[in-house]
Structure 1
Amino acid sequence: MQALCPGTQRKQLSRAGFRPFWLAAALLLWSFQIWASPLPDDRCELIYDLGDPSLFEFVETRQSVDFGLYQGRAIGEIHYRVLPIFNEDDPAENNWLYRAANFLHIETRETTLEKQMIVSPGDPLDRDHIRENERLLRRNDYLVDAMIVPHRVCADRIDLLVVVRDVWTFSPSASASRSGGDDSTSAGFTESNLLGTGQRVATGYFDDADRSGHFFSYRNPLLPARVQLNLSYTNASDGESLSGGLLRPFYQLNSRWSAGLDVQRENLLERIEENDQTVNRYRLEDNRYDVFVGWSPGVQDSAVSRWRLGIT
């Protein structure tokens, strides 16, 4: 038998002692991962997945959903699915032009949709409330269609899936013409879903026989507290006009109050002509101010009454 030196004996004993320690540590870590991971809920049923191809068929899919089966059940999580302009899984829409449009287009943001939701997690599900929220989303001109379907149904809740499909929102324009010896030109663009935020901006210029100038307009319907902002400015050769307003509308059937403020100012130089000759001209100034408040008791007996009081 070969004798081991003291140093070698200590190394072997050290390795042997560490083996149980590493096995115990690995077992403890595995147990912690099992304890920390959520347990699968066998009582939940997946209805519509985010990648379900039937989501592109809005009319048929919406008709197949009966929210009356889940009336009163608590709403759990709300998920969002923004479909592209063109369905690249459809052979009729899978070509380089449509793919380029999908690539260049900025999709509607989830936060933009969240600001327009009137159903919230924790609320009891109401079928009419769901359909009303769908109508509010479809009112946007930057969406082709919108629907709300059940994502997952559990014993104590129902998770919802909000599905919308975008439309191309950038619209450039240009024109040139000649009539009666006078030239007319104009150019500009309109973007109705700026960076996917639901904001609208338009700008451009015009030049014709009567006047020339440029214009700019901006609309943001999704400010906090459901407030909308509208701005418009035109600077032309015969003067300028400016308008702006803040509006808090009755954004849903059960809204209880509304208010608004609108300001319009014009400063124009008007001309009176005879036989292409200016025989008189005058300055026109127009300042207009509107303010109102509105209130409502909400939905009562399937009807809505609203009152509005204002001054101009």
Structure 2
Amino acid sequence: MIRRCVTLLLLICQQLQAAECIAVNAEQPLPGKTADWTIAAIELQRNDIFDLNKKHVVWFHYLANDYHVITSEQAIRDDLLFQTGQRLDPALLNETERLLRSRRYLRHAEVSVSHYCPADNTVKVKVSSWDNWSLLPKISLGHEGGETKTNLGFAEDNLWGTGNQLMVEYFSDSERHGYKTRFLSPNISGSHWQTALQYADNSDGETYQFRLNKPFYQLGSERSYGFEVFKDIKDISEYQRGDVYNEYQSKVQYLSVDTGWKLSQQGHTVQRLSVGVKLDDRHFSANEYSTLPPPPDRDLSQVWLGFEWFESNYQKLHNFYLFNRVEDINFGWQFGARVGALSTSLGAYSAGMQYQLFLNKTWAVGQSSWLVLNSDLNLLDATKLPQQRLFNTQLRYIKHLSDNQVWLSQLRVAMGDNLFRDERIAIGGDEGMRAFPLYYQTGDKAIIASSEYRYITPWHVYQLFDVAIAAFVDAGRAWDNPDQQIELDQGRLYGYGIGLRLLPSHASRGSIISIDLSKPVTNNPELSGWRWRFIAKKEF
């Protein structure tokens, strides 16, 4: 009896000793090597949309929290790249944090060790998430670049708290009007497979898409898979000085199957190899508004081989592309190359080769300045087509003048030869030169330089919008269009303006809403005076 009591007391003492865990903060290092610790427990802390303890809380904050379905524990756990019983790897914690922050239904996420227990060399990991409002009625009337855009419908980016997306809308813009439905699952049952289904019934045709893929969702992913089928029938307009002068119908049928492998990994750098088959058939025909013959049909079906070099060197910054948000910026090198062999057995109209390259890099220039480079090159050499080249590069400079003042500048250069008519470069409106109408200039070549000063105000409108005030100037030109007929305004374009930048701080569609009053510098009498522009974009 005495022996049993002693044994029981020893067990109780061991359990009490093991339960003596020490709380730590995110910046506090663990004693010893992190690899010596094992994850014993994972705690989820799910936070609702609005903080009801802040100032200026009113009735709709309570209403939103009450009727919003908070992201489920299962949806959060499905995205975790670690599990209990696994050795602690801080890199996986950081990757999980970035993955969660990339989900549009989450405003913010933090993953860190909350406790360590020296008795058994275990740790507790805390995963904190903050939800966005995800049910968004799409009722908007926008005017941008001389054209009016209308959207009516709804988008649910966190369907019943599962992280799935559903959208139904009616839309109308300068090109077409119609109805569109879309469903997206970013992580099917924690498998990291993704799927997307879309159908659109447009005034000029229809579109459907089905995609099922498993990407390299983390640095150490061993395999990737992809399948996509896409069909799109629509009318394409050709512009001069923002006015339509010709239309024709385009019919695209596309199918892609691919897979990829991790070749090797050294620390935070990984090399990957991918291979795939792509069927890409495009037909063009005249419609009732055609004034010129349509472009020739083409088929670029091919077998391709790709290589990727990816270096992970992320930092958490603020006021980079957005404002008042944590942004995960990768300072590592990213390089990729793809070689495709056009195959007549797959349907291509001629034999040939297609080469694609891309390079992305961000540098810190001093303590409060950054330089971002994004470049890509596309070469097409087919026996029955003119040799085609397109080089795109975008250089961005971001300077923090103070905690609430940002200067953003960018230079975009696009140099092409023999581009397809439906893929020519356009500037104006969405594509830079904000004071000019959409598609104001088109051609095989373009240069745009833009600069924007942004003052981030302390105004937070009922936790709904963060507000910034902006002033900007643009200069640019598109040229080398063999179909160009009007000579007016074919030289360099200039424009300037002022505006507001509104960032929906608690909504899943967290694009910057730009409301601009701008003035073009032009010899076109139709564009004299000030113009207003209203558009939502993910970044500057």
Normalising by structure 2, we get a TM-score of 0.43
More strand by share: 2
Task: Give the equivalent residue in structure 1 for 2:274.
Answer: 308
The equivalent position to 2:185 in structure 1, one of 207, 220, 236, is 220
- Give 1:271 deviation, angstroms: 8.9
Alignment partner of 1:251: what SS?
coil
Following the alignment from structure 2 to structure 1, what is the Cα–Cα distance between the partners of residues 263 and 31?
26
Following the alignment from structure 1 to structure 2, what is the Cα–Cα distance between the partners of residues 160 and 184?
47
Following the alignment from structure 2 to structure 1, what is the Cα–Cα distance between the partners of residues 61 and 23?
26
Task: Give the equivalent residue in structure 2 for 1:167.
Answer: 132
Say which is worse superposed, 299-308 or 209-218, in terms of deviation: 209-218
Do structure 1's residue 196 and structure 2's residue 171 form an aligned pair? no
More helix by share: 1
> For 1:1-312, what aligned pairs fall within 5 Å after superposition?
41-46=16-21, 62=26, 64-67=27-30, 71-72=34-35, 73-88=37-52, 90-92=53-55, 94-154=57-117, 155-156=119-120, 157-176=122-141, 185-207=150-172, 211-224=176-189, 225-268=191-234, 284-312=250-278
Is contact 2:175–2:236 with CA below 8 Å preserved after alignment? no
Instruction: Tell me which amino acid in the other structure corresponds to 1:253.
Output: L
Is contact 1:65–1:149 with CA below 8 Å preserved after alignment? no
Instruction: Tell me which amino acid in the other structure corresponds to 2:140.
Output: S
**C-alpha distance after superposition, 1:21-49 (max 9, x if no partner):** xxxxxxxxxx9xx99xx885233345569
- Give 1:82 deviation, angstroms: 0.3
**C-alpha distance after superposition, 1:224-277 (max 9, x if no partner):** 4311001111012322110111110001100011010111112346799xxxxx
- Judged with a 3 Å threshold, the aligned counterparts in structure 2 of structure 1 residues 175 and 122 are, in CA distance, closer, same or farther, namely closer
- Judged with a 3 Å threshold, the aligned counterparts in structure 2 of structure 1 residues 165 and 176 are, in CA distance, closer, same or farther, namely closer
- Give 1:123 deviation, angstroms: 0.8
Following the alignment from structure 1 to structure 2, what is the Cα–Cα distance between the partners of residues 207 and 239?
14
- Give 1:282 deviation, angstroms: 6.9
Instruction: Tell me which amino acid in the other structure corresponds to 1:126.
Output: D
Say which is worse superposed, 151-160 or 74-83, in terms of deviation: 151-160
Alignment partner of 1:253: what SS?
coil
Is contact 1:254–1:298 with CA below 8 Å preserved after alignment? no
Q: What is the aligned length?
A: 259
- Give 1:183 deviation, angstroms: 9.0
Instruction: Tell me which amino acid in the other structure corresponds to 1:78.
Output: I
- Give 1:65 deviation, angstroms: 3.9
- Judged with a 3 Å threshold, the aligned counterparts in structure 2 of structure 1 residues 137 and 69 are, in CA distance, closer, same or farther, namely farther
Alignment partner of 2:17: what SS?
coil
**C-alpha distance after superposition, 1:209-234 (max 9, x if no partner):** 86432101111011143110011110
Is contact 1:238–1:270 with CA below 8 Å preserved after alignment? no
Gapped regions of structure 2 (runs ≥ 5): 239-245, 279-540
Following the alignment from structure 2 to structure 1, what is the Cα–Cα distance between the partners of residues 113 and 17?
17
Instruction: Tell me which amino acid in the other structure corresponds to 2:18.
Output: R
Instruction: Tell me which amino acid in the other structure corresponds to 1:267.
Output: I
- Judged with a 3 Å threshold, the aligned counterparts in structure 2 of structure 1 residues 78 and 70 are, in CA distance, closer, same or farther, namely farther
Following the alignment from structure 2 to structure 1, what is the Cα–Cα distance between the partners of residues 20 and 142?
62
Instruction: Tell me which amino acid in the other structure corresponds to 1:108.
Output: T
Say which is worse superposed, 167-176 or 125-134, in terms of deviation: 167-176
Normalising by structure 1, we get a TM-score of 0.72
Instruction: Tell me which amino acid in the other structure corresponds to 1:87.
Output: D
- Give 1:95 deviation, angstroms: 3.6
Task: Give the equivalent residue in structure 2 for 1:6.
Answer: none
- Judged with a 3 Å threshold, the aligned counterparts in structure 2 of structure 1 residues 77 and 206 are, in CA distance, closer, same or farther, namely same
Following the alignment from structure 2 to structure 1, what is the Cα–Cα distance between the partners of residues 237 and 61?
50
Identical aligned residues as a percent: 29
Is contact 2:93–2:112 with CA below 8 Å preserved after alignment? no
Report which structure shows greater RCO (CA 8 Å, sep ≥6): 1
Following the alignment from structure 2 to structure 1, what is the Cα–Cα distance between the partners of residues 225 and 103?
21
- Give 1:184 deviation, angstroms: 7.0
Alignment partner of 1:159: what SS?
strand
- Judged with a 3 Å threshold, the aligned counterparts in structure 2 of structure 1 residues 76 and 210 are, in CA distance, closer, same or farther, namely closer
Following the alignment from structure 2 to structure 1, what is the Cα–Cα distance between the partners of residues 275 and 265?
20
- Judged with a 3 Å threshold, the aligned counterparts in structure 2 of structure 1 residues 168 and 128 are, in CA distance, closer, same or farther, namely same
